A and B are shown apart, each in its own frame.
Chain A
């Protein structure tokens, strides 16, 4: 569970670019730059609890879950069990997708099937807490049908990805 030097330096460069964008915005449009900064701080405040969950899961994975077990439940030959875990995990995961990147890339390094990761990402578009709101805007029938197709599409995409992406591809 380590972050490579390439990943670290890319992160630093990206942060420098974003800081430069803020400085440019502050120079030409200070009000909007301030507004953007406040919005970012509010995002940071909102994601803090999810970060704690991610930290806990990463610790748990590293301490107690053997790679063979992960491979058995989420590897290329995990079958229906694996797809069920990926879809269920995707639907139940909270917070922005990028918060789940570290744990998913770690799981991938431990042999989790790429198709299951792709399915997890797509299943995340079923946002359980927001379903009542979606139903109030677009109707119950629309919400049920869309949810069904999202889960179906998650599995199809996972199957396609399994064929296209070689295991552990980081090219």
Chain B
């Protein structure tokens, strides 16, 4: 019983130590989230799109990656863009990259996982945001 308590206390101390060491990095990322949410507004995101399906899909992926916030924000922006006549490819790419890519968390990812891992994961996420959006819309068109 006492041995188990010791194991638990030692593990808790180690975990607290790790989180404490990461506090500056975590606070920096949270600070960046506030700045991005303030300076990158939905209106600014809307202004990047042109109406060309191909170009807008790419823009959707990039703007999704630089946007931050809860996932529902991407649905609201995406819904608004869709109502304005923007292609579903671009809207899907936007809502996907909104949650899979994150410019603000790149420094932390690089520090903890290394350059190669961060580069490979983010490049794959970028490419697959486009691929998944194309496949989703195609499948939807075939089925409905």
Residues on A close to B: CB < 8 A? Answer: 1-3, 6-8, 10-12, 14-15, 17-19, 21-22, 25, 32, 35-41, 43-44, 47, 51, 54-55, 58-64, 96-99, 101-102, 104-106, 108, 114, 118, 121-122, 124-125, 127, 130, 133-134, 137-138, 141-142, 145-146, 149-150, 153, 156-157, 160-161, 164-165, 169-171
A17 touching B28 by the CB < 8 A rule?
Answer: yes
Q: Pull 5 A–B residue pairs with CB atoms less than 8 Å apart, ordered by A.
A: A10-B107, A63-B11, A122-B125, A124-B100, A146-B92
* B25 touches which of A7, A22, A37, A60 (Cβ 8 Å): A7
Closest Cβ neighbor of B15 among chain A residues: A58
B24 touching A12 by the CB < 8 A rule?
Answer: yes
Contact of A150 with B96 at beta-carbon distance under 8 Å, contacts A55-B19, A130-B71, A170-B113 already known: yes
Contacts of B131 in A (CB 8 A): 153
Bound Cα distance A134, B21 (Å): 37
Bound Cα distance A22, B34 (Å): 10
Interface of chain B, main secondary structure? helix
B28 touching A15 by the CB < 8 A rule?
Answer: yes
Query: Count of B residues near A, CB < 8 Å?
Result: 69
* A40 touches which of B31, B82, B116 (Cβ 8 Å): B31
B99 CB within 8 Å of chain A: yes
